[in-house]
């Protein structure tokens, strides 16, 4: 039995022994939850690691929230990351590693209760809109688990065919200001639906999830968000280094070439195209920030303002050129690190920064404990973050695992990132001196003890892949 399972059993014991609600008070007064998922938002603006990105609404929300500086996804692409969050089970136990696998239609998730279903079984009113699972579910399952028709909407709007820039014919890798009405964006339509939900009176406590499609590509956004930035003076990412891959094993090179065309056409070979895409990514960040702000403002004007947990998380991070790579689908810091914050009723511990490593699979057991939900059928792999919400500065010795395939995994402690590939090759980065993960220390004998201690967290086995596509 590996250490993760041991933790899970400990957690189970904690639930059975202490059903009292640490955050919620009495069962009759359980908190509502407003969950907002941002898609592909990395740490650029959220933790100020790229100059100039404007996220005024998230900045204000942080003043009322516990913000996690070391939050990491369980899987570095949309579908598998969300499968891990909504099942509470790590990718190496489900085989949901890649997009396009539809893991909820395969064992074990086809018979695993989702977090939404658990809220529903626990007496909550469930409400959802936008990009939530990003995978097909069995017929009728999605409709049954939400009280509303969970309108999705898709990635658009797209530019008309032939007008894509900088790569003609690539509908997704574009950056273009949009002059149509805001309602051309599914995010805005889903926002309106969420605002209307929050304005109504509900008898039961609710679990409302708003899944945004931005800042994911295509980088279309209302023009006012592009106007916040000067395209020609967008800085190239501070974490970029031309020779960065020289000390990376071949498997890392392969991952950095998943979208080879994009890097080769719009990366270092064409800095104007690179700045153009950075301009779009920044605008898409600010658009998503605005959408988050409108939803939270609607909550704060509603009767639910004082008894609602707000949780905001991104499903994965994002490279904008670091490690000669665009997008996600690697297990480096740029793909793995995600924005995450929780605002508790009464703004308890608001304005604090928790530096302990946490994982997106911790969301499931956290909400189970914080909301006093029924006991789930599955044994979640994460740990409830309630102790960190109570005391963001307490000790926490659990690292965060990010997995992208059978045997492709990283282990992130508060200071180090250790990576292991299926052929046994490794990387180690010391974030105390190397926040951009430039210098691979895995072969340095001085770090043998560190490598050994992080290796101890590796899964003993990996579930066979449920399929899907790279990227
Ligand atoms: Ca994503
Ligand atoms: Ca390097």
Looking at domain 8-396, its CATH architecture is 3-Layer(aba) Sandwich (3.40)
Q: How far is the CA of 291 from the centre of ligand 1 (A)?
A: 17
Check: CB of residue 292 under 8 Å from CB of residue 215: no
Where do the domains of the chain lie? Answer: 8-396
Q: Which two tokens stand for residue 164?
A: 């894509």
- Measure the CA–CA gap between 461 and 348, rounded to whole angstroms: 40
- Measure the CA–CA gap between 363 and 338, rounded to whole angstroms: 13
Identify whether 431 is a catalytic site residue.
Answer: no
Nearest of 224, 358, 243, 208 to residue 283 by alpha carbon: 224
Measured at the CA of 53, the angle between CA 52 and CA 55, to 5 degrees, comes to 130
Q: Is the peptide bond before 219 cis (omega within 30 degrees of 0)?
A: no
Structure pTM?
0.94
Q: What's the confidence (pLDDT) of residue 152?
A: 81
Please pick, among 92, 134, 319, 325, the residue that the annotation labels catalytic. Answer: 134
Q: How far is the CA of 86 from the centre of ligand 1 (A)?
A: 14
- Measure the CA–CA gap between 226 and 175, rounded to whole angstroms: 9
For residue 182, the tally of other CB atoms under 10 A from its CB is 17
SS3 334: helix
Identify whether 47 is a catalytic site residue.
Answer: no
CA-based end-to-end distance of the chain: 32
Q: How far is the CA of 316 from the centre of ligand 1 (A)?
A: 5
Q: Which ligand is nearest to the CA of 131?
A: 1
Q: How far is the CA of 279 from the centre of ligand 1 (A)?
A: 19
Nearest of 465, 357, 453, 337 to residue 404 by alpha carbon: 465
Please pick, among 43, 70, 73, 78, the residue that the annotation labels catalytic. Answer: 78
Q: What's the confidence (pLDDT) of residue 20?
A: 39
Parallel/antiparallel/unpaired status of strands 32-39 and 308-314: parallel
Q: DSSP strand E in 315-452: where?
A: 319-320, 326-327, 340-343, 352-354, 358-359, 400-403, 409-412, 416-420, 426-430
Q: How far is the CA of 298 from the centre of ligand 2 (A)?
A: 45
Q: What's the confidence (pLDDT) of residue 10?
A: 41
pLDDT (tens place) for every residue of the chain, 471 residues total: 344 443 343 444 344 334 334 444 444 589 999 999 999 999 999 999 999 999 999 999 999 999 999 999 999 999 999 999 999 999 999 999 999 999 999 999 999 999 999 999 999 999 999 999 999 999 999 999 999 998 889 999 999 999 999 999 999 999 999 999 999 999 999 999 999 999 999 999 999 999 999 999 999 999 999 999 999 999 999 999 999 999 999 999 999 998 778 999 999 999 999 999 999 999 999 999 999 999 999 999 999 999 999 999 999 999 999 999 999 999 999 999 999 999 999 999 999 999 999 999 999 999 999 999 999 999 999 999 999 999 999 999 999 999 999 999 999 999 999 999 999 999 999 999 999 999 999 999 999 999 999 999 999 999 999 999 887
């Amino acid at each position: 039995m590996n250490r993760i399972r041991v933790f899970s059993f400990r957690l189970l014991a904690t639930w059975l022994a202490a059903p009292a609600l640490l955050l919620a008070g009495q069962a009759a007064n359980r908190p509502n939850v407003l969950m907002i998922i941002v898609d592909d938002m990395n740490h650029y603006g959220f933790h100020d690691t790229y100059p100039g990105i404007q996220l005024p609404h998230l900045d204000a929300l942080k003043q009322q929230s516990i913000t996690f500086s070391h939050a990491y996804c369980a899987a570095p692409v949309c579908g598998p990351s969300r499968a891990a969050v909504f099942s509470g089970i790590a990718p190496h136990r489900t085989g949901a590693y890649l997009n396009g696998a539809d893991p909820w239609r395969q064992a074990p998730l086809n018979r695993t209760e989702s977090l939404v279903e658990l809220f529903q079984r626990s007496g909550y009113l469930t409400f959802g809109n936008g990009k939530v699972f990003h995978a097909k579910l069995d017929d009728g399952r999605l409709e049954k688990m939400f009280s509303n028709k969970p309108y999705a909407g898709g990635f658009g709007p797209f530019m008309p065919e032939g007008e894509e820039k900088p790569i003609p014919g690539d509908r997704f890798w574009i950056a273009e200001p949009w002059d149509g009405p805001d309602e051309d964006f599914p995010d805005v339509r889903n926002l309106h639906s969420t605002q209307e939900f929050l304005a109504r009176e509900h008898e039961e406590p609710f679990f409302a999830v708003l899944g945004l499609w931005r800042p994911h590509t295509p980088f279309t956004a209302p023009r006012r968000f592009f106007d916040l930035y000067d395209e020609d003076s967008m800085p190239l990412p501070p974490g970029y280094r031309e020779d960065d891959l020289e000390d990376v094993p071949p498997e890392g090179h392969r991952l950095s070439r998943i979208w080879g065309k994009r890097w080769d056409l719009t990366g270092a070979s064409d800095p104007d195209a690179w700045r153009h895409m950075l301009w779009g990514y920044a605008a898409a960040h600010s658009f998503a920030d605005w959408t988050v702000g409108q939803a939270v403002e609607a909550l704060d004007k509603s009767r639910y303002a004082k008894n609602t947990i707000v949780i905001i998380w991104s499903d994965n991070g994002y490279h904008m050129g670091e490690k000669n790579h665009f997008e996600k689908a690697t297990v480096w810091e740029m793909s793995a690190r995600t924005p995450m914050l929780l605002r508790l009723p009464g703004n308890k511990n608001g304005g604090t920064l928790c530096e302990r490593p946490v994982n997106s699979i911790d969301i499931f057991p956290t909400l189970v404990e914080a909301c006093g939900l029924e006991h789930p059928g599955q044994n979640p792999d994460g740990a409830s973050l309630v102790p960190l919400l109570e005391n963001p500065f307490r000790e926490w010795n659990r690292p965060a695992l990010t997995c992208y395939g059978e045997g492709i995994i990283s282990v992130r402690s508060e200071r180090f990132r250790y990576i292991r590939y299926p052929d046994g090759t490794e990387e180690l980065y010391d974030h105390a001196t190397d926040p951009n993960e430039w210098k691979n220390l895995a072969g340095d004998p001085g770090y043998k003890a560190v490598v050994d201690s992080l290796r101890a967290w590796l899964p003993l086995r990996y579930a066979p892949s449920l399929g899907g596509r790279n990227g």
